[in-house]
Structure 1
Amino acid sequence: MTTLDTVAHVAAHARNQHLPKRIKQLVVSAVRTGLALPDDELDLFVDWCRSLDDVVLAGHAPGPAGYLEASGRLLTGEVVQITVETSGDALRASGLAGVLVLGEVEQYARRRTAVPA
């Protein structure tokens, strides 16, 4: 399959899943397809993760800046890697460094957007 076919499949997947058009960066090669979402777009990250099959999630918090990364498959079989940058300090404080499950990321996103009482 050509790179253009892969881009078409990713775009079709995003449209079919009603995922917003906000993408910070798209990298497509013969080896991988990577999407970087705008910084701190945790809800969009969760939406993308829900739309993929066989999702593997990880949190990386090496310093003040950190990121969440997901790898999964489109229905067409292509592996897609989704990344969003966020606070490394907040990830460490929430215990979200290392291998994760989607529920942990969903709870973290909800807590970050919750209005204090």
Structure 2
Amino acid sequence: MYKKSTQNYYRLYRCSKKQCKNCPGFSACALDLGTVRINASAYYPSFYRNSQKVGTSDYLRIMRLRRIWAEGTFAVLKREHKLNKIQKRGLQKAMEECLLSAIALNLKRLIKAV
């Protein structure tokens, strides 16, 4: 069962404290009324599926394309558009600054292509 905590989703396992007290990770778990709440990411199934693809030919091809397109773009944005340090405060304004920088970079590429 997934429940929403303050920031992330977590899995709620219902078991007695007697079953868990010999577990080495017991100190990291949260104790509720007679149950043990294990702080685990709700996205672990997706993470596990993706980790199975590491090393395959499709994975290596996609990572090569990522290196060419995404990493190079981030390097240019950091170097030429001063995105190594966000100038604005707040999540919305920071996102706005990143989007405006991306728009400027795309316009530069469009002009260069034409």
Computing the radius of gyration from Cα coordinates, the structure with the larger value is 2
Higher-helix-fraction structure: 2
Tell me, yes or no, whether TM beats 0.5.
no
Higher relative contact order (CA 8 A, sep 6+): 1
Higher-strand-fraction structure: 1
TM-score relative to the length of structure 2: 0.27
TM-score relative to the length of structure 1: 0.27
